[in-house]
Structure 1
Amino acid sequence: MFWLMKVLSALLCLLLPLLNASVPTVCQPGQFRNYNTNKCEPCPVNQYRSKSGTDISCDICSTCKKGSEIIRMCTKTEDTLCSCKSGFMPKDVLKQEICFCDKGYGLNDEGDKCENCSNGYFTDKIDSICRKWKECKSGFKVPGSRTSDAVCKNTSEGLTEAPTATSKSSFQMTIISSTTSSTTTTSLPKNRQNILFPVLICVGILLLTGLLCMWKVTHCIHNNKKEATRQESVCKKPVEESGEKSLSLLV
Structure 2
Amino acid sequence: MPVPALSPWVKPASAMSVRKDEIHQQSSAPLERSPQQNLCPPGFYMEEAIGGCAPCTDGIDYTSHSNTLPSCLPCTTCKSGEEEKNGCTPTKDTECQCKPGTFRGEDAPEFCQKCSTGCPDGKVMVMKCTPWSNIKCVDQESSTLTHGEAPVPGELATMSQ
Question: What's the TM-score, normalizing by structure 2?
Answer: 0.45
Question: What's the TM-score, normalizing by structure 1?
Answer: 0.30
Name the structure, 1 or 2, with higher relative contact order (CA <8 Å, separation 6+): 2
Question: As a proportion of its length, which structure holds more strand?
Answer: 2
